[in-house]
Structure 1
């Protein structure tokens, strides 16, 4: 994986790719209505998502086997996706279902196109870009608050121009709250404890407003009945590879006031741009109308915080690009733990042009996806 040899310097984390053997969200379900096709991507692999007339969603390599024209430019007809160029038609498993002009008795192509396992949950379309044989046994993230009558969910979808690891570090390291002083006020985070193992890193923080004043973010939540008896107090953040979660528990309560789940999905082959898919689940107060009234304010508040975080992590990526290496002088043990965990679970970045592989071996799925045969 991404581990350095014994006695050598650690592998630059920004050169470690995210592991493909997990379920990654690549689109919102509502953005793919029946009889439509949409482009998507994962780490430089172009994907055509299409929903058939019966409602099923499929994910194919976004290149027609004929002339390599993007299938996302095509049209959905019934249960098949038809290329816009010569009208070759493909089933959801990547097999060619029709070549309209093929003469009777003519030799057919030996294979179709790659097909990726697909699942829908939480209003998102997940694909499995790794070894398809591992997909059935690999669980989707469990989000019990989503769809619960006691919660209301908010979805986020933003592109950020940085390596996914910068995003993991940003959310886990609450020592950067000075960045948000204009939105949250001046607050002092205290790390209560941290835990790590081979697949996860977890931290719990307590927040103390400077000067004894309630911070603005806490004030917004408590004013709307979302913060319990006191200011939101204990924050638990966990990176369980490859996802991240955050739960905020108000002072004096046991249940979180809100929970956040986030996935960072690399888009380009060098993985210097990622798409953030997030779900914020907020517990409804006793008077549900209060949350409805506060919803636009909560969205504006979270968007402002995210915009500041994006500014910072994109600046970090620009510095890496300019220096050609990671010159960070990190001192926080929690982030050092996180970096090691991400290295161990990641994979070496594939050379440019190697994605979707050499066509050799496609038929048996050895390049990480199923390839449809005739």
Structure 2
């Protein structure tokens, strides 16, 4: 084996080991837009891992998804016109139905029509539009995300999400690693997480936490999430937080000492670009209503402010992690927390088998 071949093999092995170059697996249901973003009779352009996709809501209210290009001159269909139950390209008026079949060319009629464009399985639920970007034959047998708290009237739910400039794996690690509470010290005070144990399956991992805080005035953020408390220094909270990555989704639940679910978060990170260095988060945060529900309504603006502050800090730190990775050209992390190391194994094993090329990453620098 030549020295050049040896170097190429080492580079290839390093790429496989590097989680930040593992693409997300496409054979799952991913939300690509909020329902409110796709108006009746309108088209909306989105992306999944570099693939342009157009979402269109017909006159009947149905939403369908096609690749966002006209088979004629490749211009984006989202710049076209939704008519009836189909979409018409804005350039020459080629018309496609919800299956992607070309059904009309104005100057040729309905004879000798081309095959059309790719259609994606599409479902609307929980205020989001989900698309199955992988093998369409697997869509029906692939479990659809369940969010029982979102439809339960005992909970009040807020939807949130922003683009974040990092690989999706950084997001999974950030949420699952509660040891980073120091980052949120201004919002959460001197809280300290203690891991109670973890469990792992083939495509999932979860960990339980309890929290301790130092004596002193309880920050408003802590009171919002865990409730008001007068615990003394180093006294453990009776609530238990369980964080789970069930690939590719993630959940965070807080249960009280009576095992009542008081907070329920569902979240997913959808890659936008082909290099998967930018993702769009879609999150659903449900809070159990107190006996006097007006109390939660009154506190809701403060809760929204608090969660946005936490998300802003998390977004800033994971984007710095991504920048460091791209500058170094490899994953130099020295992770010591067993939960995160096992999470990385799950993400690596469940991800797509291809590898984002090293050159594609370096071109971003």
Q: TM-score when scaled to structure 2? A: 0.89
**How do residues 215-226 of structure 1 correspond to structure 2 at under 5 angstroms?**
215-221=219-225
Aligned to 1:181: 185
**How do residues 127-276 of structure 1 correspond to structure 2 at under 5 angstroms?**
127-211=131-215, 214-221=218-225, 233-250=239-256, 252-276=257-281
8 Å CA contact 2:103–2:113 kept in 1: the answer is no
Q: Structure 1: how far apart are the matches of 2:110 and 2:267?
A: 52
8 Å CA contact 2:29–2:133 kept in 1: the answer is yes
Q: Tell me by how many angstroms 1:217 deviates.
A: 2.3
Is the partner of 1:201 in helix, strand or coil? strand
Aligned to 1:32: 38
Is the partner of 2:297 in helix, strand or coil? helix
Q: Structure 2: how far apart are the matches of 1:333 and 1:31?
A: 40
8 Å CA contact 1:270–1:349 kept in 2: the answer is no
Q: Structure 2: how far apart are the matches of 1:222 and 1:170?
A: 20
Q: Structure 1: how far apart are the matches of 2:35 and 2:336?
A: 41
Q: Structure 2: how far apart are the matches of 1:232 and 1:169?
A: 25
Is the partner of 2:294 in helix, strand or coil? helix
Aligned to 1:369: none
Q: Structure 1: how far apart are the matches of 2:33 and 2:330?
A: 32
Distance 1:224 1:49, change over 3 A: farther
Q: Structure 2: how far apart are the matches of 1:231 and 1:290?
A: 23
8 Å CA contact 2:226–2:239 kept in 1: the answer is no
Aligned to 2:4: none
Q: Structure 2: how far apart are the matches of 1:310 and 1:143?
A: 24
Aligned to 1:360: none
Distance 1:86 1:349, change over 3 A: farther
Q: Any gaps of 5 or more consecutive residues in structure 1?
A: 353-374
Distance 1:224 1:304, change over 3 A: same
Is the partner of 1:304 in helix, strand or coil? helix
Distance 1:258 1:40, change over 3 A: same
Is the partner of 2:74 in helix, strand or coil? coil
Q: Aligned residues, how many?
A: 341
Distance 1:164 1:141, change over 3 A: same
Is the partner of 1:84 in helix, strand or coil? coil
Aligned to 2:305: 300
Q: Structure 1: how far apart are the matches of 2:245 and 2:227?
A: 30
Q: Any gaps of 5 or more consecutive residues in structure 2?
A: 1-8, 230-235, 359-365
Is the partner of 2:117 in helix, strand or coil? strand
8 Å CA contact 1:232–1:248 kept in 2: the answer is no
Q: Tell me by how many angstroms 1:224 deviates.
A: 8.2
Aligned to 2:101: 95
Distance 1:103 1:147, change over 3 A: closer
8 Å CA contact 1:224–1:291 kept in 2: the answer is no
Q: Tell me by how many angstroms 1:218 deviates.
A: 2.6
Computed over aligned residues only, the root mean square deviation of the Cα atoms, in angstroms, reads: 2.2
Aligned to 2:59: 53
Q: Structure 2: how far apart are the matches of 1:159 and 1:104?
A: 42
**How do residues 285-324 of structure 1 correspond to structure 2 at under 5 angstroms?**
285-324=290-329
Larger RCO, structure (CA 8 Å, separation 6 or more) = 1
Q: Work out whether 1:340 is the aligned partner of 2:345.
A: yes
Q: Structure 1: how far apart are the matches of 2:228 and 2:66?
A: 45
Q: Structure 2: how far apart are the matches of 1:351 and 1:331?
A: 27
Q: Tell me by how many angstroms 1:221 deviates.
A: 4.4
Q: Structure 1: how far apart are the matches of 2:224 and 2:30?
A: 32
8 Å CA contact 2:210–2:237 kept in 1: the answer is no
Q: Work out whether 1:75 is the aligned partner of 2:81.
A: yes
Question: For residues 204-263 of structure 1, what are the alpha-carbon distances to aligned partners after superposition, in whole Å with 9 as ceiling and x for unaligned?
Answer: 0010012365454232346689xxxx967311000000000000123x221121100001
Question: For residues 4-58 of structure 1, what are the alpha-carbon distances to aligned partners after superposition, in whole Å with 9 as ceiling and x for unaligned?
Answer: 99xx666100000000000000001121121010011100000000000011100
